[in-house]
Amino acid sequence: MVKKQILGILVLFAIFAFCGGAIAAESMTVVGTINDDGVLVDDSGTLYMLGEDDKGAEVAENTGKKVEMKGTVEEGSDGAKTITIESYKVME
């Protein structure tokens, strides 16, 4: 009986550990300029890597332009932020 309880606790812990990244993601709006490397830099200097999908590729083509993006931001274990873009508009 005790072994089953311990196993159940370990399974729950594994589920929370596995889903931690998805839980930490938040939807937000980010405004900044696309630099030469295809990375968005906001006014405070924070860098946002663009998601590796069609919208990310479209936005990356706007080097030097100010862009407003709405999307899900995830922070990696190294502190790097990546935005998966839901919508965007070029402001310049």
CATH code for position 64: 2.40.50.140
Does some domain include residue 3? no
| pTM of this structure | 0.70
Does some domain include residue 85? yes
Does some domain include residue 34? yes
Does some domain include residue 4? no
Question: How many domains does the chain divide into?
Answer: 1
Rounded-to-integer distance, Cα 49 and Cα 26, Å: 15
> In this structure, are strands 26-34 and 66-75 parallel, antiparallel, or unpaired?
antiparallel
Domain range for 63 = 26-90
Does some domain include residue 12? no
pLDDT in tens, the chain (92 residues): 666 666 556 555 555 555 554 455 678 999 999 999 999 999 999 999 999 999 999 999 999 999 999 999 999 999 999 999 999 999 96
Of 27, 29, 83, give the one whose Cα is nearest residue 51. 83
Of 14, 15, 47, 53, give the one whose Cα is nearest residue 33. 47
